[in-house]
Amino acid sequence: MKMTRKYSITIVPFALLLFVCVAGCNDDFVNTRPLDEVPQEDTWQDAGLAEAFVTEIYNGFGQGGFDEEMLASLSDEAMFTHPGRGINIITEARSNDADQGWNSQISAGTHNWGSLYQRVRAANIAIQNLANPQFDNSTNIADQLMGEAHFLRAFFYTELMRYYGAVPLIDSIYGLGEEDYTIARNTFEEHVEFIAADCDRAAELLADAPVVDGRASVAAALVLKSRVLTKAASDLHDIPTASANSATIAGYSNPAYLGYTNGNQQARWERAQQAAKDVLDMHGPGYMMDLTAPVTPEEGTQNYLSISLGGGSQAVSSDGKADLILGRFFIDLKDEGGNYVGRNNGPNGYHNWAGNTPTQLLVDDYGMIDGATFDWNNPEHAAAPYENRDPRFYATILYDGADWKPRTADVAGRDPANQIQTGQYEVTQGGNKVIHYGLDTRNSSVEDWNGSYTGYYMRKFIDPDPAVVDQNTRQFIPWPVLRYTEVVLNYIEACIELGEDAEARTWLNRIRFRAGLPAITASGTALMQAYRKERRIELAYEEHRFHDARRWMIAAETLGRKVGIIRVFGRLKNGSSVSVYRYDPEHYNYTYTVSTIDPGIENRQWLDKMYFIPIHRDEINRNNQLVQNPGY
């Protein structure tokens, strides 16, 4: 396949250069090796160089999920503020084989077909060369590196599967001879089995390896296996079910690329349940999951902050790092995009960019502290929509009136209270009432072009330490590539699918107790709906919602919805006079109006072709055995 031929040139260029030099002349000066490159044959004769090669494969993680254009904005979690980035091509279902959309990831970045295959090829090189190590292996370093390579290959094939369905499985290294580089897609079932086998092999090889931040481990391999088998058991990949729910899939002539055309879906759920249970049995109850009653709301917020910040903040307890199975860590030696999550997503009134702002749809799914559903038709809820909510709400969303960091020196005098201002408010000037536009709006006096359209800002993953000035200070919050709570949720889902409601409730309530919420008592369909909402809240902004809504086949009523926004207005009470605004119910009456974004800015819709991303036509032109996904 020409695709792999291209990568064989880019990954080991020095070996080819060395061959040409040796063949062309015998001059010792010409044969001098460059000081900044290592020949391929030397790499696998030295343990340190072999480790460096495998370590480089981790660069395929990119910024984790901390790219400026986040996957959250392809879902009903968030809206991307800035036009022209390819986001709308996917959210408006305009993706095609010439322009897939979301240019920082699918068409050009770490989720790009070619980039993922480049990492697969590197893993294949490592696996082949480590099979018979040519260096001292008395410490079993070769086994550890081989285990990491199997994990990484499984991880990158998982990412390909999550977007495209089954793809060609390549487990050998293409050379530069006359061999045929074209290859057909494997079946979805073969794809799942390949990844599961790689995960098992990785877990076996890593059994005695030290657990190191940012590197694969036994737990990481088993969590990845749980993720893959949970996806494989889902409705989107059971072709009879998927076909009954989508004419696009029903009319596709190659359904084996998308899912299981035969077999028993319940058996697949049993396998997914066991994969998750293996992690639970190995790992124990998890961080703060041995509770029998809810913690206080304040503790619930702090628990969630501790988990989401992953030990990367000096201002919040690092205990929640225990939930992190594999993270993408950012260090001070490198100036990386992942260091600037606050700058990329924070309020414009703090000189930040408001990149991926929470939607009203996400906000409305946070329930009340007593377990009730939030309801705009409830007068008490509508009058004070940000009071008495799920404690995780306060650790995830910055809303109008929320306390936040100190403003920068040039803005501090206009907001001495350090509160988020996303509304319009009456203030008194010269004895008259005038409208003050919040500092964090698109009518702000501070960088209005970076203001949120939705009326909210992201708080999750942003270091609350006042010393971290988001616009110009690096933060070191790790991206959660895999975490323990995901496996717990996978286990709960499998239990519900298998009719084991009591076991599902036990584990679901452990998550809720940690968050400060009362127990759920629902069963059957109601329990599944409660679970899906719980998963949405717990894993918000962690690159799950886009995939979950598709595998559950609920995308039309979730991802396809118009973006919900909030309009906040603060009217001075009779007799009140305020010259410098702050959130103050004693002097203001607040009204909250929910609406949807102007369709000229973003006009979301769902078409069933979007259940799978199209394979780019360049790849199909290179490999004439590739068959396109349905609907393109």
Residue 205 is encoded by which pair of tokens?
């090889």
403 within a domain of the structure (yes/no): yes
Q: For residue 472, is it within any domain? A: yes
> Mean pLDDT across the chain, nearest whole number?
93
Neighbours of 246 (CB within 10 A): 20
Q: Are 303 and 320 in contact (CB under 8 A)?
A: yes
Instruction: Band the pLDDT of 41: cuts 50, 70, 90.
Output: confident
Question: In the chain, how many domains are there?
Answer: 1
Phi, psi of 427 (to 5 degrees): -135, 165
Given a cut of 90, whether residue 54 has pLDDT beyond it is yes
> Closest Cα partner for 225 from 271, 258, 175, 182?
271
Q: Which position has the token pair 């702002």?
A: 357
The yes-or-no verdict on residue 18 having pLDDT over 90 is no
CA distances from residue 609 to 53, 228, 231 in whole angstroms, order as listed: 38, 22, 18
The helix or strand, by DSSP H or E, that contains position 328, with its residue range, turns out to be strand 324-328
**Interstrand relation of 397-398 and 324-328 (parallel, antiparallel or unpaired):** unpaired
DSSP H or E stretch at residue 78: strand 78-80
Residues 616 and 629: their CA atoms lie apart, in Å, by 10
Question: What is the pLDDT confidence band of residue 35, given thresholds at 50, 70 and 90?
Answer: low
The values of phi and psi at residue 286, to 5°, are 90, 175
Is 526:416 a contact under the CB 8 Å cutoff? no
Can you tell me whether residue 602 is helix, strand or coil?
coil
Neighbours of 455 (CB within 10 A): 28
Distance CA 590, CA 435 (A): 14
Structural domain contains residue 614:
no
Please count the other Cβ atoms lying within 10 Å of the Cβ belonging to residue 521: 12
**Helix/strand/coil (H/E/C) assignment for every residue in 407-472:** CCCCCHHHCCCCECCCCEEEEEECCEEEEEECCCCCCCCCCHHHCCCCCCEECCCCCCCCCCCCCC
Q: Is the pLDDT of residue 240 over 70?
A: yes
Q: What's the rounded mean pLDDT across residues 283-301? A: 95
- For residue 391, the enclosing domain spans 330-477+564-596
> What are 421-438's pLDDT values in tens digits?
999 999 999 999 999 999
Q: Measured between alpha carbons, how far is 199 from 275 in angstroms, rounded to an integer? A: 11
**Quick one: which of 254, 204, 202, 205 has its CA closest to 224?**
202
Task: For residue range 146-178, list pLDDT tens digits in order.
Answer: 999 999 999 999 999 999 999 999 999 988 776
φ/ψ of 117, rounded to 5, equals -70, -30
Candidates 150, 214, 164, 285; CA nearest to 482 is 214
Cα–Cα distance, 461 to 468 (Å, whole number): 13
The confidence score (pLDDT) of residue 104 equals: 65
pLDDT at 8: 30
* Nearest C-alpha neighbor of 340 from the set 359, 362, 355, 325: 355
Q: How remote is the C-alpha of 23 from its chain's centroid?
A: 49
Closest CA to 37 of 14, 7, 10: 14
Give the position of tokens 């279902």.
93
Within a domain: 619: no
pLDDT of residue 128 exceeding 60, the answer is yes
**Sorting pLDDT into bands at 50, 70 and 90, what band is 285?**
confident
- From the centroid of its chain, how far is CA 210? 26
**C-alpha–C-alpha distance, residues 46 and 38, integer Å:** 11
pLDDT of residue 105: 73
483: phi then psi, degrees, rounded to nearest 5: -135, 160
Please tell me the least confidently modeled range out of 28-37, 203-212, 305-314, 505-514.
28-37
What is the per-residue pLDDT for 180?
85
* 530 within 8 A of 213, measured Cβ to Cβ: no
How far is 251 from 344, CA to CA, in rounded Å?
A: 42
Q: Is residue 30 over pLDDT 60?
A: no
For residue range 323-363, list pLDDT tens digits in order.
Answer: 999 999 998 888 899 999 999 999 999 999 999 999 999 99
Share of the chain above pLDDT 90, in %: 89
Calpha distance 352→450 (Å, rounded): 7
Question: Three-state SS for 46?
Answer: coil
Instruction: Fill in the DSSP letter of residue 160.
Output: H
Helix axes 47-57, 113-130, angle to 10 degrees: 160
Q: Is 463 exposed, middle or buried (0-12, 13-18, 19+ CB in 10 A)?
A: buried
pLDDT of amino acid 39: 77
Alpha-carbon span 333 to 567, nearest angstrom: 42
Give percent of the chain with pLDDT exceeding 70.
94
Residue 124, classed as helix, strand or coil, is helix
pLDDT at 498: 98
For residue 270, CA distances in Å to 264, 273, 276, 497 come to 10, 5, 10, 9
Of the listed ranges 4-18, 188-202, 444-458, 598-612, the one predicted with least confidence: 4-18
Say if 136 falls within a structural domain. Answer: no
In a domain, 501, yes or no: no
- Which among 376, 430, 373, 439 has a CA at the least distance from the CA of 406? 439
Q: How far is CA 40 from the centre of its chain?
A: 34
Number of Cβ within a 10 Å radius of residue 290 = 11
The C-alpha atoms of residue 518 and residue 438 are separated, in whole angstroms, by 36
Amino acid at 46: D
pLDDT tens figures, 560-608: 999 999 999 999 999 999 999 999 999 999 999 999 999 999 999 999 9
The residue-averaged pLDDT of 184-212 equals 98
Please tell me the distance from the alpha carbon of residue 47 to that of residue 145, in angstroms, as a whole number. Answer: 10
Q: What is the pLDDT of residue 4?
A: 32
Residue 427's closest CA among 534, 576, 291?
576
How close are the terminal C-alpha atoms of the chain, in Å? Answer: 22
Long-range contacts of 328-333, Cβ-Cβ distance < 8 Å, separation of 24 or more: 328/61, 328/63, 328/64, 328/66, 328/214, 328/478, 328/479, 328/481, 329/213, 329/214, 329/476, 329/478, 330/474, 330/475, 330/476, 330/477, 330/478, 331/476, 332/474, 332/476
Query: Residue 516 has which token pair?
Result: 């400060």
Q: pTM score, two decimals? A: 0.93
Q: Is residue 463 part of a domain?
A: yes
- Of 185, 187, 189, whose CA–CA distance to 197 is shortest? 189
Residue 171 lies in a domain: no
Residue 119 has pLDDT above 90, yes or no: yes
